[in-house]
Amino acid sequence: MEALRIITEEHQNLWRIATTLDMVADEIDAGGKVEVPFFSSVFDYIEQFMDRAHHAKEDAFLFPALRRRSPEAAAMLDRLQVEHANGPEVLLDLRARLGATAGGGESNAAFTAALRNYTLAIKNHIRSEEKDAMPLAREVLSRDDWAGIDRAFLDNDDPLFGAKARAEFRELFHRIASLAPESIGLGARSAGELQPGAGPAGGDVLLSVNGMESCYGRIKALKGISLEVRKGELVALVGANGAGKTTFLRTLSGVQPMSAGRIVFDGEDISGLRADLRMRRGICQSPEGRQVFGPLSIEDNLRLGAYTQPKAQVEGDLEKIFGMFPILKEKRALPAGTLSGGQQQMLAIGRALMGRPKMLLLDEPSMGLAPLLVEEVFNVVKTLKAQGMTILLVEQNAFAALAIADRGYVLETGSVTLTGTGQALISNEQVRAAYLGM
């Protein structure tokens, strides 16, 4: 049933886009401008991602199996497939209206009304699939059905929805998040690029933590944590507020004392090493709550992230970060404190990357962000992973983190209670009940 996890992940993503469009419509109704590049990038993304890939996959693999096993579902599936088939045409109409509105031939209000109809249709469609079609699929499809469907959904070489196509979707999404108005996106004038990578090197253990304990006074916040991260892996550490996630990351990077346990990084026992020396070894953290230096300029914040690095490479690395996040370049001379929350999160990630991490630690990067930027943060994390980066991602947003992670650990009041592949944890009943609200 791996296919259902993928579909739900894509639904979440599309829902965030629809919510974002609603928010932009509100802003336009309140007197805001209709930004053509932004809407064009949204429509491009929807066309590529939703109409050509997401719906195509459902139509080709999931729905035919459902029709075979459950003839009484025909009416519902007919309706859903008609909506799929109409998608491109509705989008063409919206593009035409966007053109007319930009050219002054149609009022902004007419455009936002059409936009709202569209997002409502998207949301209703998603709801119906999640509430009607997918539960039915869980119930009636056989093991063999799922084997075939899952194989198709996981085919990495497929030109429509394989790894390469997914990288293109990420790039298109990145455009949207970059160009979206600052109230809900990054508010940049240009989009920049998330360069695709060579793919993870993969294999050897990079980090091995054994029996880590840490205390605040007499209270033991970490009660013997053991965890492993391999090169090129994306590992998620999830758990409720107060579980000890931040304490774990701080103890790992050496800013919080470890009272028992052992940390081996890249073959070296670093348990007794100072924080700055751990950073030199390649452990770089984007801390909880971003913690950018408000009065310092954006550029200086980024340079601070490179203080352990040879001077010769800093300018080049700076340009790479600016290439990923053009808004940081546009605002490079301004104090970091003037940035929005989403922009600050990109700055915090950029600052960590300036340290040329061998392992990147991210502490709740999606916390407090607008829906579009939550998706964009995970988009960036996926791209970094595709480039071969080893990542330890700490999140309360368990579903989103586990959905992109190779493996995950569930932390409860200072102890690891469950571990497994991201997918196994998402389908684990205990995890679903405790963290996913499902």
- Part in contact with ligand ADP (CB under 6 A); list of ranges 69-77, 242-250, 329-337, 373-381: 242-250
Residues 60-79 that bind ligand ADP (CB under 6 A): none
What number of helices (H) and strands (E) belong to the chain? 19, 10
Tokens of 400: 């989103």
Partner whose binding site includes residue 242, from Mg ion, ligand ADP, none (CB under 5 to 8 Å by kind):
ligand ADP
Our CA dihedral for 1, 121, 23, 342, rounded to 10 degrees, sits at 20
User: Binding of ligand ADP at residue 239 (CB under 6 A)?
Assistant: yes
To the nearest 5 percent, what fractions of the chain are helix, strand and coil?
Answer: 55, 15, 25
Q: How far is the CB of 216 from ligand ADP (least distance, A)?
A: 3
Say which residues have a Cβ less than 8 Å from residue 369's Cβ, sequence separation at least 6: 341, 342, 345, 377
| Among 197-205, 235-243, 293-301, 304-312, the segment contacting ligand ADP (CB under 6 A) | 235-243
> Nearest approach, Cβ of 266 to ligand ADP (angstroms)?
25
Work out what residue 408 binds among ligand ADP, Mg ion, none; the CB cut-off runs from 5 to 8 Å by kind.
none
Contact 43, 119 (CB under 8 A): no
**Shortest separation between residue 411's beta carbon and ligand ADP, angstroms:** 7
Of 363, 426, 371, 373, the C-alpha closest to 396 is: 363
Identify whether the C-beta of residue 187 lies closer than 8 Å to the C-beta of residue 327: yes
Least Å distance between CB 301 and ligand ADP? 23
Q: Is 415 helix (H, G, I), strand (E, B) or coil?
A: strand
Q: Does 246 bind Mg ion (CB under 5 A)?
A: yes
Nearest to ligand ADP of 143, 241 (CB atom): 241
> What is the rounded (10 degree) CA torsion for 187, 192, 196, 201?
-80
Q: Does 243 bind ligand ADP (CB under 6 A)?
A: yes
Neighbour tally for 208: CB within 10 Å: 17
CA 54 to chain centroid: 18
Scanning 79-87, 200-208, 239-247, 315-323 for contacts with ligand ADP by CB under 6 A, the matching segment is 239-247
Closest to ligand ADP by CB, 49 or 435: 435
Tell me if 286 contacts Mg ion by CB under 5 A.
no
The entry of ligand ADP, Mg ion, none that residue 247 binds, CB within 5 to 8 Å by partner kind: ligand ADP
Task: Give the x-and-dash track for 194-223 against ligand ADP (CB under 6 A).
Answer: ----------------------x----x--
Residue labelled with tokens 């993304």? 45
- Shortest distance (Å) from residue 237 CB to ligand ADP: 9
Number of Cβ atoms within 10 Å of the Cβ of 157? 8
Pick 230 or 245: Cβ nearer ligand ADP? 245
Cα–chain center distance at 234: 12
Six token digits for residue 245: 């996630």
Which stretches of 242-297 are DSSP H helices?
A: 245-253, 275-281
Of the two residues 133 and 229, which places its CB atom closer to ligand ADP in the complex? 229
Q: Is 397 exposed, middle or buried (0-12, 13-18, 19+ CB in 10 A)?
A: buried
User: Given the complex with ligand ADP, which of 62 and 398 has the nearer CB atom?
Assistant: 398
Residue of the chain from 8, 247, 253, 366 that contacts ligand ADP (CB under 6 A): 247
Smallest separation, CB 251 to Mg ion (Å)? 12
Nearer to ligand ADP, 56 or 255 (CB): 255
CA distances to 138, 244, 325, 431 from 412, in Å: 30, 8, 35, 11
Cα(204)–Cα(223) distance, integer angstroms: 26
Binding track, positions 267-306, relative to ligand ADP; x by CB under 6 A:
----------------------------------------
Residues that bind Mg ion (CB under 5 A): 245-246, 288
Residues that bind ligand ADP (CB under 6 A): 216, 221, 239, 241-247
